Chains A and B, each alone.
Chain A
Amino acid sequence: DTGVSQNPRHKITKRGQNVTFRCDPISEHNRLYWYRQTLGQGPEFLTYFQNEAQLEKSRLLSDRFSAERPKGSFSTLEIQRTEQGDSAMYLCASSLDVSDGYTFGSGTRLTVV
């Protein structure tokens, strides 16, 4: 197992375009989390899945953001009509049990120009 994998590593897009990121968690982990991190700040929680169910969403997740985990394995995060304020590192993490430490991926850095 190579850990949590995120693709792409970098994405540059024009304002108004849609983007989609993918996260492949550690295979036996049923919990999956998305975070966003801007420069100089700690990661901010976006959403959480247990298996395929999306159990919690932050108010940061506006209606332009949607996340899915259709078969309880990989997950996608889509941003529609991107804005410059969406520029950030998008991090995915997974864990097996609620008490476990999370394993984070290396993130997808989004730049909206």
Chain B
Amino acid sequence: DAKTTQPPSMDCAEGRAANLPCNHSTISGNEYVYWYRQIHSQGPQYIIHGLKNNETNEMASLIITEDRKSSTLILPHATLRDTAVYYCIVRVNTGTASKLTFGTGTRLQVTL
């Protein structure tokens, strides 16, 4: 699976949009981009994933560049409860695909 690069930490004011970047310059054509987050002392939580088109759900939006070498997770109105470590992961989705390979993620701190 391709490796990803994320900033170690970011701050965001409550109510503002949080834009979390991820570089995956070696991504293959059949690899998807997944985002998870982990709030302290809990298991990771799935947020969103996509292949090449932008995706939106009730939690966030995922913007993938046309060349697919980077992506941005957008939390449109961050709240204090969004303070967490956010992981960007790329992975194939073939029938036997299994593991997600987590990096160290971005620690997002949402402040008043």
- List residues of chain A with CB under 8 Å of any chain B CB: 4, 31, 33, 35, 40-45, 48, 55-56, 58, 91, 93, 98-99, 101-107
User: Chain B: interface secondary structure?
Assistant: loop
User: Cβ of B96 and Cβ of A43 under 8 Å apart?
Assistant: no
Question: In the complex the two chains form, is B102's CB within 8 Å of A103's CB?
Answer: no
Residues of B within 8 A of A107 (CB): 42-43
- How many A-B contacts at CB < 8 Å in the complex? 58
Whether the pair A43, B44 counts as a contact (CB closer than 8 A) is yes
CA separation between A48 and B98, bound complex, in Å? Answer: 7
Q: A104, B98: Cβ atoms under 8 Å? A: no
**Would A105 and B43 count as touching, CB distance under 8 A?**
yes
**Interchain CB contact (< 8 A) of A104 among B45, B95, B101, B103:** B45
Interface size (B, Cβ < 8 Å)?
26
Interface membership of B100, Cβ < 8 A: yes
CB nearest to A43 among chain B residues: B102
Over the window 66-81 of chain B, the binary record of Cβ atoms lying under 8 Å from chain A Cβ atoms (1 yes, 0 no) is 0000000000000000
Interface residues of B in 29-70 (CB under 8 A from A): 32, 34, 36, 41-47, 49
With both chains docked as a complex, state the minimum distance between the C-beta of A53 and any C-beta of chain B, in angstroms.
11
In the bound complex, CA of A32 to CA of B15 (Å): 37
- Alpha-carbon gap, A101 to B48, bound state (A): 8
Residues of chain B from 81 to 112 with CB closer than 8 A to chain A in the complex: 85, 87, 93-105
Bound-complex Cα distance A35 to B101 (A): 10
Of residues A56, A102, A107, which shows the largest number of chain B Cβ atoms within 10 Å of its Cβ?
A102
Partner of B104 from the list A42, A56, A99 (CB cut-off 8 Å) is A42
Candidate in B93, B96, B100 with the most chain A CB atoms within 10 angstroms: B100
Q: Is the CB of B102 within 8 A of A104?
A: no
List of A residues within 8 angstroms of B105 by Cβ: 42
Cα A89 to Cα B74 in complex, Å, equals: 29
Q: Which residues of A contact B32 (CB under 8 A)?
A: 99
